[in-house]
Structure 1
């Protein structure tokens, strides 16, 4: 990174450090000059001396919570010219109420969070569908994925307590009564504490971690992130193909086998005189029914657990995709801090403040990395355990079908 400096002939080599020309997110300005914005929010970062762990402290008034999204319903406006789907959201908080939200309002929330919390992972929303968007299967798929997304947001100790999230999950909105919703939207959209300016809200517990130790922890994650993202993407593609085979190959194959055994049964039924033939034909009929049952299992139980697991893998791919930008900003900020340290008090009138602000930003990045890493272990353990148990149950159900057919030969 090249820092802009005064180019006046004979200028002192210790001239004040200036922000980069393309300081898109304002991090250089934040480090060098701070901000005059009024700070009426507070975010705390804790430190565990025993483990050397930097972490987000939950907001005492608004700790993380969960949400349920239920009862998607079709709506319309402009005399039926424009149709949409509304989802009922119930936040599991004290005095929580059920509010209805459309997809475009989820888009609004996503935009507000990304713009305000540039250094926190805000996963992407599930994509839009252009055609056939009111089909029941798609609506249910979107409901599941929006619920996953919203719960990820409300699980984060910083995001869950933010005004945009609280406004989204608690403000009632109807066509006849949208005054409060619009007022909250304006408040969020005019918020000055976004991008680097938001860092002024952050305070952290003093630790015995050195700059080098913090840099080492951040760099270690930066080395791990691309590989994990790549391999989760590969797993996602493999699971998609596996699900396609369930629907397009395995299920039809089982159905076809059931139909073929059924025709054998019909053919055997024509022989009414040979001893044991009727018993044989009944056994073949049971085999036919077993394969039809297995086909139904492939349609429902076989794919359901894999689909649910894959939706969560897709969510983690989205989270990991947030980090390259965060880590790139952190690298640029580190260069700015080094420049300030090398130049000493001549780098900026607020030298000690610049060093402190640089430390705050590094703590923010490390707290977010640690939050992700801890969640990753907890979540993937839970997801994999659930997947395996449900797949075991699926194959046990197949075994039950086959055993029932085999029992007719005893």
Structure 2
């Protein structure tokens, strides 16, 4: 028998997007329950098919279908994706022992479930979108515009009256000759990740690597594992949906205790943490300072952790903390973001080509180049060994010089093998980090495009008399806030890019010069031998 469901509340869906427009008490025939994201597909009594929110109905049997039902208030939307609708925090029992290896699996499973349950869906937002319900909602619930909270913010699905903002939560954007940018941090700092140490528990049954993390701001040293970096990364991604949070270095299981791997991970974690610490906004957030300063007291750690996971100012709600210069021109900001989108795509291709070429050259240095110089040294050395047969005094100088030249070329081959760790590998690591950063910007460009489309749609509706001036003004003002955030983030990226790539190239060229000077010195030393031959 087909499943039937009764509407508990009115649902004004977007018919053009395949959603139903139904009223409280209406009975639907459920056609599909696996649509996803909290949606079902159903059919009305007049044969109309479409999507409706699962949370708006109750399943009926034959007896209940003929009886009345008690209507409850529509499900409310909780602005924070980190808070359960029932008020409980995410994974409150994070870990009795916060160094436990099993934390990684439980944390990923738990936090992932919370995000799925509380992702803003049209079902939960429809009642709060009443004032601007004429603007169409995005049918793709997995688009970056929706997932970032941008659509919810633009359409007023989250009310500023329900968000408590302290003075310390305010994020200021200032106007400069180059456009909007983040207000500089008043207390910048950097971090070191050092002294990796293999530790164990349960009498050696479980092992892990702990790193000493120190920030220059407080000079506090704390022990952190990779899973703690992973937790921090997740929290930053949840809170700052329109900021370029770089990805963490990849996990590795095989050989993860090897000395070379541990050192390389240490370098990358330090690079990642300093990238975060240089951001004027992210560097000031509570969750980062908790990560950097909380010691091994379990009670203190859990208290700070719960506070971070119960943060109301995440996703769409975060945008209420933004204070920015008024008067952004939507069309101009759209053009600027579009131009940056083109720039970031071109830069992504260029950086990828640079990384690939340097990687290839690195392999040649330790392979063909090294072998070629060693072969040259070998054949010249063989010539010198041949000259040894002539023991006359007139020939000894030349014999010695030729043998020295063979040794010089062999040494040059060794220099080629060692050189990449000084110039090529640092450059490769830098390009890899930037590929990670660049991968975050297509979503930001799409969010801005989606916001601008809402403004254009609102203008059209205003002309048709389907939207008021005040409603359009509010949509435009919220879009200004979103645009300011994205433009400030673009400006921050560009400033960092100039600093970083200048440092990358200067360091690379200095090491290249040093390398070739070593080669020249080897050749000069050998050349001097012939003047005495």
**Fold match, TM over 0.5?**
yes
- Determine the structure 2 residue equivalent to 1:38: 164
- Determine the structure 2 residue equivalent to 1:91: 215
Aligned in 2, Cα 1:58/1:383: closer, same or farther, shift over 3 Å?
A: same
- Determine the structure 1 residue equivalent to 2:503: 382
**1:17-96 equivalences in 2 (<5 Å):** 17=135, 19-21=137-139, 22=141, 23-33=146-156, 34-35=158-159, 36-40=162-166, 41-48=169-176, 51-60=177-186, 63-93=187-217, 95-96=218-219
What is the total number of aligned residue pairs between the two structures? 396
Q: By how many angstroms is 1:263 displaced?
A: 4.3
Q: By how many angstroms is 1:258 displaced?
A: 3.6
Deviations 1:323-346 (A, max 9, x none): 011111211121122223333495
**1:271-310 equivalences in 2 (<5 Å):** 271-272=390-391, 274-310=392-428
Deviations 1:132-152 (A, max 9, x none): 122222222111111111111
| 8 Å CA contact 1:69, 1:143 repeated in 2 | yes
Moved more, 344-353 or 330-339: 344-353
Q: Secondary structure at the match of 1:121?
A: coil
| 8 Å CA contact 2:196, 2:266 repeated in 1 | yes
Aligned in 2, Cα 1:5/1:127: closer, same or farther, shift over 3 Å?
A: closer
Q: Which has the higher contact order (CA 8 A, sep 6+)?
A: 1
- Determine the structure 2 residue equivalent to 1:217: 336
| 8 Å CA contact 1:19, 1:29 repeated in 2 | no
Distance, in Å, in 1 between the alignment partners of 2:492 and 2:242 is 13
Q: By how many angstroms is 1:251 displaced?
A: 2.4
Structure 1: where are the runs of 5+ without partners?
none
Distance, in Å, in 2 between the alignment partners of 1:227 and 1:3 is 34
Distance, in Å, in 1 between the alignment partners of 2:175 and 2:307 is 33
Q: By how many angstroms is 1:277 displaced?
A: 2.7
Please identify which structure carries the higher helix content: 1
Verify: 1:190 aligned to 2:310, yes or no: yes
| 8 Å CA contact 1:47, 1:206 repeated in 2 | no
Distance, in Å, in 1 between the alignment partners of 2:165 and 2:371 is 62
Q: By how many angstroms is 1:188 displaced?
A: 1.3
Deviations 1:371-400 (A, max 9, x none): 111221222122112211210111111000
Distance, in Å, in 1 between the alignment partners of 2:383 and 2:259 is 38
**1:10-409 equivalences in 2 (<5 Å):** 16-17=134-135, 19-21=137-139, 22=141, 23-33=146-156, 34-35=158-159, 36-40=162-166, 41-48=169-176, 51-60=177-186, 63-93=187-217, 95-173=218-296, 177-207=297-327, 209-272=328-391, 274-344=392-462, 347=467, 351-409=472-530
Q: Bigger radius of gyration, 1 or 2?
A: 2
In angstroms, what is the RMSD of aligned CA positions? 2.5
Distance, in Å, in 2 between the alignment partners of 1:83 and 1:296 is 37
